[in-house]
Structure formats: structure tokens, C-alpha cells
Amino acid sequence: MTKKIDYISGTESAYTMTEQEELVYEEQKAGVYDEEDFCQYEAMQKQERKQMPVFSGVLKYFPDAIREVAKTSWIGNQQHHPNKPLHWDRAKSSDELDALARHLIEAGTIDKDGQRHSAKVAWRALAYLQKELEKEGKAPLSKYNNKNNGNT
């Protein structure tokens, strides 16, 4: 018998799996996603997609703020990796909440690099949330977005 975890409810149950099912299960536990997983994510039912209104629920509300966070991301990349393609170097910092708090103390002012502390707060909040979702296995796209830039 093998324990089977229902990732939606978080419950475990005894279950005899085929060899293929066991392989898939182990990959899921390890956070491995393949092309089929990506296609399944892309093929979410219409209702589920409607509950994630990326444009109308985020970008349309905050276009200037999103641009400012993107600019801050680019400036940070130039600071830490001059003339390299834009990428999130996760090895540079892993203390998102401490960094967020440091910038929050200075919110409403401009940092010495010319960027708004408030934009850095937003960037750090997004970074923390992304890592949190990945840790919980709820970020299937991150495996594809990060696979070619040396990040984990």
C-alpha cells in the first residue's frame, strides 16, 4: 500500500498504485512538471480562468504601479547583473520579508538608486508570494518561467 495525497483537499488515503501512477506521484511530490502538466494548466475550465482576472482584476486596476514595479525589476537586474538579460537571481536575496519591511519603513520616499521604496515593497511582496505558491506546489507556470535562467 502507498499513501496517496489528494493535493486539493490535502487528505491522505491508502491506495495501491500502478508503477506509472507511482512515478507520477513521486514526480508531483518532488515538484516535477512535464509538458502534459503544463497543457492541463493551460486547459483550465473557463470558469476557473474567469476567477483569475489577471488583466481586469490586476493590470487594469494598477497599470502605473505595475509599470513602476517592472522598472524597479529592470533597474535591479542592471545593478546586480549589468548588461545581462532580465532574470530573477534568487541567489542574491532570500529574505523577502525583511527586505520588504526595510523598504516599507521608507515608503513614500526614493531610494539612493532613484527607485521608489514603495515599488521595492511591491516587488518583494510578489517575490515572497511566488515562492510561497511554489513551496505549496500551487505555481505550475513557475517551472516553465524559470527553467532557462538558472534559478530554482
pLDDT tens for each residue of 60-103: 999 999 999 999 999 999 998 998 999 999 888 789 999 999 99
- By the 8 A CB rule, do 117 and 108 touch? yes
Measured at the CA of 44, the angle between CA 36 and CA 133, to 5 degrees, comes to 80
Position 148 pLDDT exceeds 50: no
pLDDT tens for each residue of 25-56: 666 666 555 666 666 666 665 667 778 888 99
Ranges 12-16, 39-43, 111-115: which has the least confidence: 12-16
Give the pLDDT score at 138.
Answer: 78
> Which letter, b or e, does each residue of 13-27 get, where b requires 16 or more Cβ atoms within 10 Å of its Cβ?
eeeeeeeeeeebbee
- The average pLDDT across 145-152 equals 43
Give the pLDDT score at 116.
Answer: 97
Q: Which residue has the higher pLDDT, 43 or 15?
A: 43
Q: Which residue has the higher pLDDT, 150 or 119?
A: 119
Give the pLDDT score at 106.
Answer: 98
How far apart, in whole angstroms, are the C-alpha atoms of residue 127 and residue 132?
A: 9
